[in-house]
Amino acid sequence: MLEGLLIGVENVFDFSSLAAIALGVLWGIIGGMIPGINATIAMALLLPFTWGMEPVNAILLLAGVYCGGEYGGSIPAILIGTPGTTAAAATTIDGYELHKQGKTGIALGTSLISSSFGGFLSALVLMFVAIPLASVALKFGPSEYFALAIAGLTLICSLGGRNVFKGLLAGAIGIFVATIGYDPMNGIPRYTFGSLHLADGFEMIALMMGLFAVSELLSQAQELSGDAEFNIVGEVDTRLPGWNVIKTFLPTSFFSSLMGVVIGAMPGVGASTACWVAYSETKRWSKDGDTFGKGNIKGVAAPEAANNAVTGGALVPLLALGIPGSNSTAIMLGALMIHNVQPGPLLFTRQPEIPYSIFISLLVANIFMLIMGYFIVKLAIKVTKISKPILFASIMTLVFTGSFAYSGETFSILVTIGFGLLGYLMKKFTIPYTATVLGFVLGFIMEANLRRALLISKGNWTEALFNSGISTTLIILAVLAFVGTTYQNLKKPVDIDTSVKA
Amino acid sequence: MFKSKKVKVLLALLLVFVMFAAVGCGGKQEAPKEEPKKEEVKKWPEKDITLIYHSKAGSGGDMFLRALAKALEPGFGKSVIVDNKPGAAGATAWKAALDAKDGHTFLGVSSTLITAPIMNKMDVDYKSFKPIAMMFVDPMILFVRSDSPWATWEDFVKDAQANPGKFNIAGGIPGELGFVAAKLLQEKADININVVPFEGGADATVAVLGGHVDGAIGEYGEAVAQLDAGELKALIAFNKVSGVDIPTVEDKGYNFLVEKFRGVVAHPDTPDAVVDQWEAACKAALEDPGFKQYYTNLKLNVVFKNKADFVKVMEEQDKQIRAFMK
């Protein structure tokens, strides 16, 4: 182990390696900031350049991009209410709210520090417990995935503020939208009305940009058209958080990072799920949980720590099992295989320089990210000084370009507009569209795994639902959360005016 | 202060520009040539060549095409550009390839060209194109955990026959080739196993390792790390895996062939001389040292089939899938 780490240090602390990591992080942050480009796409764009590089440098470059990309998405999430990547969707809830309250610097600083912290911690976890963590990931089969999705979905109940039914309605819309496209078990297209564009279902990024960005632009533009001040935000505080603030969210970052690492290690679920689970659990266990959605910095710290902690977790199955659990790690696998490096159980004995260099590079990348992020945030915060009409027009361009660039289909732009209008209407009726996004993200995982579990148990529901201690615990937790929230809401009369505009 | 905003917008615009440029390369700048004479055909290619593919940059098929393109360039003396057109279950790419009548746009294909049109009742399918060559097969195998009670395929068959429907085997979604392979295997070996559809080979492999299912039918490449480490063992292979000793369905006397192929096809109006030139170029590319290193490292199985044999593979696969979709 120590010997391996020394080889890693030797490989990483070399000018070309450090330059590769720095370049990767910078490219990743920029990519993450642009809606429509996530860590995976940013890595794919660099892939051809890695073919001529030394295998270690190639993988360090990609590792840098991976870290930076998972962080970059939070910057537009906070500044313009548009998550740059699907992993930053949960950050939008409190991050954008903080920005609207003028606490922009605090929000951006929290996201940067929490992201770097999450990434750093996950690299340490990967370094020391990759093998045991891989066996935890193996314990998750269809039943456990289903239970995890159900536990995550209970957040829907509380997203609607006092009115639990609005949350359920919004969540149901999301779950319904997730069923559009191929049936995961028998391959038959559902609700596609014969349109080939719907055969693969909706692109998550196009849907999110509609619900988050377009709907926000529409409602803000409407406010502008009245006599309202052009500059709604007014003066923003661009100062980054000090230690007294940082220490309040560090425990949140710590626990969210652990959740992120574990979720990252499970194949098939990644950062876009981790951010919601961390947000939901932090809200559930925090004493000030009811201030989530109203600009609580823990609501920024939790998803950001989790989505960056996914980086270390996602490398667990890749390095320890030789199985890529996500698109990003599949690209890393491709980059390694092209250099004749086969990740898997034998990698640590055959080519120890590769895994240990990755461990060290992830630590370095997250430190680089903290430094580079500081300067990028200082620059990006100036967006707030742009006059609203110009800013809105630019965001609209960016959003449409992004949804087109991601899929290469003009149909995606229509999807973005469609969900933008839906989001706008939901805002009008104070229905939390964030619950729709959550339903969409978890709906498919939930459905496919429940049906898979039932196939395995030959139709026995008890066996499918309570297959193991993990699934039983998660389902009980979910039922308690649902009953608890509903009971609390029923006690109080529903008052529409005080419903939280999520 | 506008700087950062501008940079972002510029980057986005640049991206769009690059995409349009890529489309433009394969695009319609030149009117289709009328009835090219023999001398003109010899001069082909006159400009850069575009290879369209139906999945995103960075996917397995995309990396294969990019490596192939590199190996083809010296022979053609022009650039070969890979243009990703994902979406609409493949139809976007296939229709784009049919619309491009410049004589320099070709299409990279996989078994998706057979499965997707059937599943989605598309008005484009493999018959819309002129085949050039099949180049690789991703071999499929049935694998189980090493600690499972079955040492050989015969053990498994015996146990499965004694316990019909008991064993859970992860496999593809109906309409995918892996599903067809599972169906045919059950039919020929006279067994009844419970096939559980999984979306990707990675998820299925993990489900086997974690003991959630008894085994899986998947690509050899997706299980290779665990096979090498001795955590998994292959009981039977649907296609010969070069350099590895796994009994194949043929060895066991089952008379069927399911091949997950990768190849290249051309626009139906492409002159035969150009198709022949391509076919020869693809064959020659297999000897290119860079390309050779690429496919050896990625453990791809070279199964070269000329245009006539490639059609037969596609026809056979089309029949197999239609038989199970009724």
Digit-coded pLDDT (tens) for A206-226: 898 899 889 988 988 887 776
- Residue B15: is its pLDDT beyond 80? no
Q: What is the pLDDT of residue A499?
A: 43
Please give the single-letter amino acid code of residue A341. Answer: V
Q: Which of A228-232, A304-308, B158-162, B207-211 has the lowest mean pLDDT?
A: A228-232
Whole-number Å distance between alpha carbons of A22 and A73: 18
- Residue A277: is its pLDDT beyond 70? yes
Contact criterion met (CB < 8 Å) for A268 and B86? no
For B301-325, how does the pLDDT look when each residue is reduced to its tens digit (9 = 90+)?
Answer: 899 999 999 999 999 999 988 887 7
Helix (H) or strand (E) holding B106: strand B105-110
A236: its two tokens: 């923003």
Q: What is the DSSP string of A325-385?
A: -SHHHHHHHHHHHHTT---STTHHHH-THHHHHHHHHHHHHHHHHHHHHHHHHHHHGGGGG
Contact criterion met (CB < 8 Å) for A142 and B56? no
B326 lies within 8 A of chain A by CB: no
Q: What is the pLDDT of residue A229?
A: 53
- Residue B270: is its pLDDT beyond 60? yes
- Residue A233: is its pLDDT beyond 80? no
pLDDT above 70 coverage of chain A, percent: 95
Q: What is the pLDDT of residue B20?
A: 45
Q: Residue A313: name the closest of A250, A266, A365 by CA.
A: A266
Domain ranges of chain B: 14-136+260-325, 140-237
Over its C-alpha atoms, chain A yields an Rg (Å, rounded) of 22
Whole-number Å distance between alpha carbons of A5 and A27: 27
Q: Which residues of B touch A30 (CB under 8 A)?
A: 11
Contact criterion met (CB < 8 Å) for A345 and B231? yes
Q: Which of A8-17, B206-215, B277-286, B292-301 has the lowest mean pLDDT?
A: B292-301
Mean pLDDT for chain B overall = 84
Are the beta carbons of B210 and A144 closer than 8 angstroms? no
For A246-258, how does the pLDDT look when each residue is reduced to its tens digit (9 = 90+)?
Answer: 999 999 999 999 9
Q: Residue A9: name the closest of A393, A365, A359 by CA.
A: A359
- Residue B12: is its pLDDT beyond 60? no
For B62-74, how does the pLDDT look when each residue is reduced to its tens digit (9 = 90+)?
Answer: 888 888 998 998 8
Q: What is the pLDDT of residue B56?
A: 76
Q: What is the pLDDT of residue A381?
A: 87
Contact criterion met (CB < 8 Å) for B202 and A334? no
Domain B140-237 falls under CATH 3.40.190.10: yes
CA-based max dimension of chain A = 70
| Mean pLDDT for the stretch of residues B178-198 | 92
For B231-246, how does the pLDDT look when each residue is reduced to its tens digit (9 = 90+)?
Answer: 999 999 999 888 889 9
Q: How far is CA B247 from the centre of its chain?
A: 23
Mean pLDDT for chain A overall = 87
Q: Model confidence at B175, in pLDDT bands (50, 70, 90)?
A: confident
Q: Which residues of A touch B87 (CB under 8 A)?
A: 197, 200, 407-409, 411
- Residue A345: is its pLDDT beyond 70? yes
Q: Which of A363-377, A448-462, B136-150, B297-311 has the lowest mean pLDDT?
A: B297-311
- Residue A58: is its pLDDT beyond 70? yes
Looking at CA atoms only, how far is residue A323 from chain B in angstroms?
Answer: 6
Q: What is the pLDDT of residue A15?
A: 92
- Residue A496: is its pLDDT beyond 70? no
Q: What is the pLDDT of residue A497?
A: 45
Instruction: Print the SS3 string covering A261-287.
Output: HHHHHCCCCCHHHHHHHHHHHHHHHCC
Q: What is the pLDDT of residue A501?
A: 43
- Residue A383: is its pLDDT beyond 90? no
- Residue A192: is its pLDDT beyond 70? yes
Handedness of CA B141, B144, B145, B147 (dihedral sign): negative
Whole-number Å distance between alpha carbons of B204 and A448: 13
A389 lies within 8 A of chain B by CB: no
Please give the single-letter amino acid code of residue A275. Answer: C
- Residue B27: is its pLDDT beyond 50? no
| Mean pLDDT for the stretch of residues A417-435 | 93
Q: Model confidence at A367, in pLDDT bands (50, 70, 90)?
A: very high
**Fold match between B14-136+260-325 and B140-237?**
yes
- Residue B21: is its pLDDT beyond 70? no
Q: What is the pLDDT of residue B2?
A: 41
Q: What is the pLDDT of residue A492?
A: 63
The CATH number given to B14-136+260-325 is: 3.40.190.150
Those of residues 47-66 in A touching chain B at CB distance below 8 A are: 47-48
Peptide bond preceding A355: is omega within 30 degrees of 0, i.e. cis?
no
User: Among all residues of chain B, which has the CA nearest to that of A46?
Assistant: B58
Of residues A63 and A231, the one with the higher pLDDT is A63
Name A181's bridge partners.
A190
Q: Which residues of A touch B11 (CB under 8 A)?
A: 30, 34
pTM assigned to the model: 0.83
Highest mean pLDDT among A236-245, A367-376, B84-93: A367-376
Whole-number Å distance between alpha carbons of A313 and A364: 17
